[in-house]
Each structure stands twice: as structure tokens, then as C-alpha cells.
């Protein structure tokens, strides 16, 4: 091509479009002009290369910004689309084409291997005490689990699965059309890479059965509601030879009747008498972990005073620091007074004034 066209014009999009719009436009053009679909149209290959070049620039944020500022002159040093053959392009952009077309490879394919198991997510609730101390707790996961009868092999007792002779155990069948190689799941073993001649009666050769299982999860001290823990390898099982997925545990914090949490700080209320507020003293606060903390207050303490006791809150997740305890003081004014009490208070009021 003697003079390059504008990349946005090639993809048929405006300059302000999103990355998703760029991706959709390229996919449409790539499918339309793919050389394997247009073997009788020599111009299709050039249009395919042109669209691929435009997408390779505009789908990259840094390259797109460079192109928007300097145009084609700012793109020197990139992949040479003009002099590249289709095999070179497919090889160079192998991952990109794999994402778009689900498995075909140009210039020689590579097996994706057995598929990893899916991740699983569950919710569990923790008390304030459990988040303060840390706890090991079982969570219940419902899903596929190895069959106990065949120990997850899928084969009846006394037999073993055999390697698929059609795919050699890869689970992938490869066909070639022109210079493009297509990969798909082996039709003999269904992509498993193994063939079970005599399947287990309980799981019917599937290796897994649906059941509820328990997973012991360690929740560190300081964890808060809304946070998520990842437990590697405790998700759904993968294909033979592949790793299982992970388990993600979403944490919810149960309400406490006496304490509130704010980050790693905790707050509570304490009632003191009128006399204590006037004379000063101390009150005892029992934390959620049943630890007693002495909270001192001076004479003349007013209702609504907040006492802060350092490092008596929750530990940080790395245990390098600790939050504070905040105590809101409420002065308890008696509602019923004896005749003698009324007389004494009247004398006190006269003395104070």
C-alpha cells in the first residue's frame, strides 16, 4: 500500500469510540475478510492485513495516543505489515486471533491443554469477636466433588482410563486448511484426553458427583465485612491433568449488640453515675474477646464525652498496628429519688451555686 489510510477510517469508527467499539469493529471486519473465507478474492488478504494493522494500534492505549497525536509518522518501529506474509501475521498476533476466533492458529498451532476448573464463590458471616481474634471456620461449598466410589478416575473398580488414541491424550484435534491450522476438542474423548471403557456406576464416568462439602478456611484477625478471601484449589475440578479452580469467600460482619466497628477502631457506650461524672473515676469495658479494659475519666466529665484508649481495637491484617477503642460516656440521671436524696441534692445545688 503506497499511502496508508486513516486507522479509524479503516475500522469505520469515530475517534472518540471506546475500546469495546474498536474490538467489535475489528472482529466484524476480520470475519468478513479472513483469507480462508475469501480464497477467490485476492483483495481480501490486503483488507484483512489493513484492518489487523489498524486494530493492533488502536487497541493499545499508548499506541493509540501516539497515533492520535502524530498520525502514521509516530508509528515507526512497529510490525511491518506491508512486507509480512499472512503466516507471519498469524504467528506474531497469535494470542489476539485466538481470543477472536476461539482456537485457530496461523503458522503452526499450539495446544491449549486441559481446561482449568471454574472458580467458586460463597458467603460467610463472622462475629466481631472472630474478626478481632482470627478464626478457622468451615464453609460449605456445593458443587462437583471427586466420586468416592472410583476415587475420581471415572472408571469402574479394577479398571483404568486409557489414553485417547485419536488425540494422543492432548484432548485437541487439529485440522489444516491452507496455511491455517484449526484446533477443536477431540470428538472421540470429548476433549478429556482419556477414554473410559468401563465407567463407574455412580458417576457414570464423569469422575465427579454433585454434593456438599466442607472447606476449612482461615480468617485472619482484622478482616472486615465486604472483604474477600481466596482459597487456592478449592473451586470446581478441572479436566484431567488441569488444576481446580479457586474458592472465593465473601465476608459479612454480624452486628454486635454493644460495639460498632469503623476500620480497625471499635466504639461502645458506657454509663456512669452523676456522682462519678462530678468526682471522676473509671469504668470497666469488656471487649468482644472478653478482655476487660479500664477507662479513666476526670472530674467534671460531661455527658457525651468520648474516651479514646489507644491500641485496644482490632489488629491490622499485617499485625503491625492496632486500632483504638472509643467509649462514649452517658451520665445516668436517676428518675426516682427518696426524700433524703432530694434534700441532699438540693443542698448540693445550693452549695454549687
pLDDT of res. 95: 53
Check residue 116 and report its DSSP letter.
Answer: P
> Same topology for domains 116-157+207-255 and 260-352, yes or no?
yes
| 158 CB-near residues (< 8 Å, 6+ apart) | none
Architecture per CATH, 7-106: Orthogonal Bundle (1.10)
Place of cell 491443554: 113
C-alpha cell at 334: 436517676
Query: What is the model's pLDDT at position 343?
Result: 93
What stretches of the chain adopt beta strand conformation (E)?
105-106, 120-126, 135-146, 162-163, 172-177, 180-185, 194-195, 208-219, 228-231, 247-253, 260-262, 265-273, 281-286, 292-297, 306-309, 325-332
| Residues 256 and 288 sit within 8 Å (Cβ to Cβ) | yes
- For the whole prediction, is pTM greater than 0.85? no
> What is the predicted pLDDT for the residue at 103?
44
Q: What is the pLDDT of residue 23?
A: 87
Which cell numbers hold the place of 77?
A: 518501529
Confidence (pLDDT) at 105: 43
Smallest CA-to-CA distance from 206 within 216, 196, 214, 215 is with 196
Per-residue pLDDT, 286 = 97
**Chunked in runs of 10, what are the mean pLDDT values of the chain (353 residues)?**
80 90 87 78 86 88 85 68 59 54 44 71 96 96 84 87 85 66 74 85 84 92 95 84 88 96 97 93 96 96 96 93 97 91 89 82
Separation CA 215–CA 225 (nearest Å): 20
> At the fourth CATH level, which superfamily is domain 116-157+207-255?
Urease metallochaperone UreE, N-terminal domain (2.60.260.20)
CATH class of the domain at 260-352: mainly beta
Cell readout for 339 is 426524700
Q: Where are the domains of the chain?
A: 7-106, 116-157+207-255, 260-352
pLDDT recorded at residue 4: 80
The pLDDT of residue 109 is 43
Question: How many whole angstroms separate alpha carbon 257 and alpha carbon 254?
Answer: 10
What is the rounded CA–CA span in Å between residue 201 and residue 281?
Answer: 75
Amino acid at each position: 500500500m503506497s499511502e496508508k489510510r486513516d486507522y479509524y477510517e479503516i475500522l469505520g469508527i469515530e475517534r472518540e469510540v471506546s475500546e469495546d467499539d474498536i474490538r467489535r469493529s475489528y472482529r466484524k471486519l476480520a470475519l468478513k475478510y479472513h483469507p480462508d473465507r475469501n480464497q477467490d478474492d485476492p483483495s481480501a488478504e490486503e483488507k484483512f492485513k489493513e484492518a489487523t494493522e489498524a486494530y493492533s494500534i488502536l487497541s493499545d492505549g499508548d499506541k493509540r495516543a501516539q497515533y492520535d497525536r502524530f498520525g502514521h509518522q509516530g508509528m515507526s518501529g512497529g510490525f511491518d505489515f506491508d512486507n509480512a506474509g499472512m503466516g507471519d501475521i498469524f504467528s506474531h498476533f497469535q494470542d489476539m486471533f485466538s481470543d477472536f476466533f476461539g482456537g485457530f492458529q496461523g503458522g503452526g498451532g499450539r495446544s491449549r491443554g486441559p481446561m482449568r476448573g471454574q472458580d467458586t464463590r460463597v458467603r460467610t458471616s463472622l462475629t466481631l469477636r472472630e474478626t478481632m481474634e482470627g478464626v478457622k471456620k468451615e464453609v460449605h461449598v456445593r458443587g462437583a466433588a471427586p466420586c468416592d466410589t472410583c476415587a475420581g478416575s471415572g472408571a469402574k473398580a479394577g479398571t483404568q482410563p486409557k489414553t485417547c488414541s485419536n488425540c494422543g491424550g492432548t484432548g485437541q484435534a487439529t485440522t489444516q486448511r491452507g496455511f491455517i491450522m484449526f484446533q477443536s476438542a477431540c470428538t472421540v474423548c470429548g476433549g478429556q484426553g482419556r477414554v473410559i471403557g468401563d465407567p463407574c456406576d455412580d458417576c457414570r464416568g464423569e469422575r465427579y458427583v454433585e454434593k456438599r462439602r466442607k472447606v476449612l478456611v482461615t480468617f485472619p484477625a482484622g478482616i472486615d465485612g465486604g472483604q474477600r478471601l481466596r482459597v487456592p484449589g478449592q473451586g470446581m475440578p478441572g479436566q484431567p491433568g488441569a488444576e481446580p479452580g479457586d474458592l472465593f469467600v465473601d465476608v459479612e460482619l454480624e452486628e454486635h449488640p454493644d460495639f460498632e466497628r469503623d476500620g480497625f477502631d471499635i466504639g461502645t457506650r458506657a454509663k456512669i453515675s452523676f456522682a462519678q461524672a462530678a468526682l471522676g473515676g473509671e469504668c470497666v469495658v469488656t471487649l468482644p474477646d472478653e478482655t476487660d479494659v479500664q477507662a479513666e475519666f476526670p472530674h467534671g466529665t460531661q455527658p457525651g464525652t468520648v474516651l479514646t484508649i489507644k491500641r485496644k481495637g482490632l489488629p491490622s491484617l499485617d499485625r503491625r498496628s492496632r486500632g483504638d477503642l472509643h467509649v462514649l460516656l452517658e451520665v445516668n440521671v436517676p428518675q426516682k429519688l427518696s426524700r433524703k436524696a432530694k434534700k441532699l441534692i438540693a443542698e448540693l445545688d445550693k452549695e454549687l451555686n
